[in-house]
Structure 1
Amino acid sequence: MKKVLIKNARIVNEGTIMEGDVFIENGIIVEIADSISAKSPDLTMIDAEGNYLIPGIIDDQVHFREPGLTHKDTIETGSRAAIAGGITSFIEMPNTNPQTTTIEKLQEKFDLAKNSSYANYSFMFGGTNDNLDEILKVDPKTTAALKLFLGSSTGNMLVDDAKVLEQIFLKSPLMIAVHCEDEATIQKNLAECVERYGDDIPIELHSKIRSEEACYISSSRAVALAKKTGARLHVFHISTEKELKLFDNKLPLKDKKITAEVCVHHLWFNDSDYQKKGTLIKWNPAIKTKKDQDALLKALLDGRIDVIATDHAPHTKEEKKNVYTKAPSGGPLVQHALPAMLQMHHQEKISLEQIVEKMCHNPAILFQIEKRGFIRVGYKADLVLIDLNAPWAVQPSNTVYKCGWSPFDGVTFKSRVTHTFVNGQLVYKNFKFMPFTQVAEQLTFDRK
């Protein structure tokens, strides 16, 4: 597909919706206009039929489980599910096996993605208590960020040495992205529950074990340390109302030194859903109260929260159905994140323009990603067509995750992704994948 003309689209971009056409040549957007006429033997024309065209989504937090945990997911299977959900670029996390905590292991991941990814890719480098020398070797132009786990999670990479942590904040050449939960608070709460219930702790207590206080203690320390050292800090998956006071909505995103993300599951679910979904919605940080859920949406809309992500972290259903202490946290989300947010649009909770801002534009700005995240002339043609009025029910037959299930099983979404383009190439259309060709590219970053 060297030349592609998308006709009759409603283009959602930079706070506006305009009706028009988009012309793509060699993977680059070369013209955007009310009406474009083009003829060429190698031209492919696609009639959008009045559906909405948005920039490809950039998901800043996924766990594709490769290497080491490939019975759950791989870069290939995870990125394939991502393009089915309109995610054309992803940033993957370092808590694989082995962990991505050396330059050698980071390069191995890039090599894997180069040969297998359906979507554009980058990876975060992992920080530990003893790898500062390796952190200092990372190239900021080719690596998305440094990931620190300030609370333990899958693949235990807990950084709990205060002196080391301050040195990392002072010296990191990369933006620092953090998972914030206070380990001492969690372990105290867990011990109390184990003493009372043994391993079979009621799932409803997950949000009491990984509590509001555990989140706030850790995130407030991270923010204070960033202010002290001048580090560029991005706080992943905010889950509580209390944490929101730590973040600013007065500065434009490009000028913020401290930013925040919310995940789709924290916007969609609350603790009343544990009764029906059980450990299938066991995440770290935990799903909290309806009050927290509502506050997160409000903060997303008023600019205290900058980005919507998935924290896609699949496990098999068999693993998830273990008793509480043995059931891992995390779930698959990349295929259904955009349909879920579009459902919230139908519920009049968020506009299309705001969805695009938080899932496309802002990740590009925040990570300084080159030539992606917007529908602009000269930018890479990562594009998604969505039909707002094409209901479909989530069921195993149309779920493409390697783990075979979704936390949205049984939900009927009103909107669907009809076409996904990666670098100008149509890779997915109406529940069908095009034959795999290596069109995905490594993300690059506009940094000094």
Structure 2
Amino acid sequence: MATKTTLITNTRLVNEGSIRETDVLIQNGRIARIGDLQHVVADRVIDAQGRYLLPGVIDDQVHFREPGLTHKATIATEARAAVAGGTTSFMEMPNTVPNALTQRLLEDKYEIAAQTSLANYSFYMGASNDNYDEVMRTDPQRVCGIKIFMGSSTGNMLVDAQSVLEKLFADAPCLIATHCEDEPTVRQRMEFFRDKYGDEVPYDIHAIVRNEDACLKSSGFAVELARKKGTRLHILHISTGVETGLFEIGHRVDGKILLSDGSPKLITAEACVHHLWFDAEDYREWGTKIKCNPSIKALPNKDDILKALLDDRIDVIATDHAPHTAEEKAQPYWQAPSGLPLVQHSLHVMLEFVRQGKVPLERVVEKMSHAVADCFQIQERGYIREGYHADLVLVDMQQTTEVLPESLYAKCGWSPFEGTTFHSRVTHTFVSGHLAYEAGTFHESVKGQRMLFNR
């Protein structure tokens, strides 16, 4: 049987800091050749007609809710939403039901993804106050990292025992990713404002309950502990300007993120698209629909986060995609759960910033693909290079994407971007060489692959 090949011609390839017109040949799921390939015969030819070809987005933080919370989402539904938006790979969090606190429960999620996920996948091992031995059995070449909730979380996943944190930070076999909000500060402020306001809360209550101090205190503690123990630490969803001062500038060099003296950057950080797009004034319109942890805060914070992204103190961009049903989000403030469905439009958000002149297109690719691959040491993904897996996204910057309920693929069926018109459109998404999405149509005969790591 003839080898299946796809030739993408007349692209504007965005990769490794440059944009150039070229062609790309995909063969056996890999990028076989890059260059002038107009003479090449292939089974499928796609004329890009000058559209931009990007490496697929790698989202290092999503909550796809399976198992146990499948009324909100499943790995299958959210992976489809991801692929439709140009995200070809995801790393999913352990606070499902049951929590992924044993190696067996972790592998159960991998088995579900192997059968149902259109996107490539990895899953974090969860840490608790009492599963140290299970965490130590984590295979660093087959698991993206260990997730520690140093703030409110689902189930038995708040790690607040000092002795446990010390051991985990000292002995972890791979990267530790943390949710950092100081739990005593948050609880104290919740009690204070509940007594003060009852159910008649100000529109921006969430920003002042989960405030800058709670984030800085926890992130600062994590950084201090990581420096003491030599931990490979990755702090998720930075939401305040004051936290950005905790991080040193890092540069990508030969597949690694290094400090100015050439040593590895052991403490990295992530920003999420909703903390760049929204600010506290948006609670007036969206209310609990944009309630998330850590909270969306006052306007100066999102400008400071973007600045830290551009000067390389913050390393990657992600979503923290965390869907809940519309009915759940419509509850009063104290009862409404935290989390937003974001994965279908994260690339669109960043491309809108490109259009506004806030960030170059090459930097979007760096922060959503290259740097994620380097940060997690992902094998042969995150770049458009010959021999790498063909995770590719074709984007038309001359078309628009209107966010309407009927255009949403996340199972919850709503989006905080509803009513927005983005000035870009994802036309094709290739996952490990398979054309998974094409102009509104999914091709689901081939599933995504388990990501592997060079550690």
- 1:443 and 2:418 equivalent? no
- 1:28 and 2:30 equivalent? yes
Measure the CA separation in 2 of the matches of 1:68 and 1:244.
Answer: 35
* TM-score relative to the length of structure 1: 0.97
Measure the CA separation in 2 of the matches of 1:39 and 1:395.
Answer: 40
Counterpart of 1:169 in structure 2 is 169
Q: For 2:192, give the aligned amino acid.
A: E
Q: Deviations over 1:303-347 (max 9, x none)?
A: 000000000000001100101111000010010111111111100
Q: Which runs of 5+ in 1 are unaligned?
A: none
The alpha carbon displacement at 1:203 in A equals 4.1
- For residue 370 of structure 2, the aligned residue among 361, 366, 369 is 361
- For residue 410 of structure 2, the aligned residue among 394, 401, 405 is 401
- 1:48 and 2:48 equivalent? yes
Q: Deviations over 1:218-238 (max 9, x none)?
A: 000000000000010000000
Contact 1:75 1:117 survives alignment (8 Å):
yes
Counterpart of 1:305 in structure 2 is 314
Measure the CA separation in 2 of the matches of 1:103 and 1:200.
Answer: 45
Q: For 2:194, give the aligned amino acid.
A: V
Contact 1:7 1:21 survives alignment (8 Å):
yes
Counterpart of 1:214 in structure 2 is 214
- For residue 282 of structure 1, the aligned residue among 284, 287, 291 is 291
1:23-172 matches, within 5 Å, as 23-40=25-42, 43-155=43-155, 157-172=157-172
Counterpart of 1:4 in structure 2 is 6
Contact 1:82 1:119 survives alignment (8 Å):
yes
Measure the CA separation in 2 of the matches of 1:85 and 1:78.
Answer: 11
- 1:182 and 2:182 equivalent? yes
Measure the CA separation in 2 of the matches of 1:198 and 1:420.
Answer: 48
Contact 1:170 1:230 survives alignment (8 Å):
yes
Contact 1:69 1:96 survives alignment (8 Å):
yes
Counterpart of 1:195 in structure 2 is 195
Q: Deviations over 1:247-296 (max 9, x none)?
A: 01155415210000000000000001000010010010000111111000
Moved more, 156-165 or 173-182: 156-165
Measure the CA separation in 2 of the matches of 1:341 and 1:250.
Answer: 21
Q: For 1:418, give the aligned amino acid.
A: T
Counterpart of 2:276 in structure 1 is 267
Q: Secondary structure at 1:275's aligned position in 2? A: helix
Q: For 1:319, give the aligned amino acid.
A: E
| Percent identical residues | 54
Contact 2:434 2:446 survives alignment (8 Å):
no
- 1:338 and 2:347 equivalent? yes
Contact 2:248 2:313 survives alignment (8 Å):
yes
Q: Secondary structure at 1:326's aligned position in 2? A: coil
Measure the CA separation in 1 of the matches of 2:294 and 2:212.
Answer: 9
The alpha carbon displacement at 1:155 in A equals 4.1
Measure the CA separation in 2 of the matches of 1:204 and 1:392.
Answer: 29
Counterpart of 1:231 in structure 2 is 231
Q: Secondary structure at 1:341's aligned position in 2? A: helix
- For residue 358 of structure 2, the aligned residue among 349, 352, 357 is 349
Measure the CA separation in 1 of the matches of 2:409 and 2:156.
Answer: 28
Q: 1:124 to 1:203 in 2, by over 3 A?
A: farther
Q: Deviations over 1:346-398 (max 9, x none)?
A: 00011110000000001100000000000000000000000011013100111
Measure the CA separation in 2 of the matches of 1:36 and 1:156.
Answer: 57
Measure the CA separation in 1 of the matches of 2:288 and 2:265.
Answer: 36
Q: Secondary structure at 1:286's aligned position in 2? A: coil
Q: For 2:232, give the aligned amino acid.
A: R
Contact 1:261 1:305 survives alignment (8 Å):
yes
Contact 1:203 1:324 survives alignment (8 Å):
no
Measure the CA separation in 2 of the matches of 1:26 and 1:328.
Answer: 44
Number of aligned residue pairs: 444
Counterpart of 1:328 in structure 2 is 337
Counterpart of 1:431 in structure 2 is 440
The alpha carbon displacement at 1:196 in A equals 1.7
Measure the CA separation in 1 of the matches of 2:249 and 2:156.
Answer: 33
Q: For 1:302, give the aligned amino acid.
A: D
| C-alpha RMSD of matched pairs (Å) | 1.1
Q: Deviations over 1:19-69 (max 9, x none)?
A: 0000011101110003442225xx100000100000011000000000000
Contact 1:201 1:325 survives alignment (8 Å):
no
Q: Which runs of 5+ in 2 are unaligned?
A: 259-263
Q: Secondary structure at 2:447's aligned position in 1? A: coil
Contact 1:94 1:101 survives alignment (8 Å):
yes
* TM-score relative to the length of structure 2: 0.96
Measure the CA separation in 2 of the matches of 1:249 and 1:406.
Answer: 34
Measure the CA separation in 2 of the matches of 1:225 and 1:378.
Answer: 39
- 1:378 and 2:387 equivalent? yes
Measure the CA separation in 2 of the matches of 1:241 and 1:69.
Answer: 33
Q: For 1:95, give the aligned amino acid.
A: N
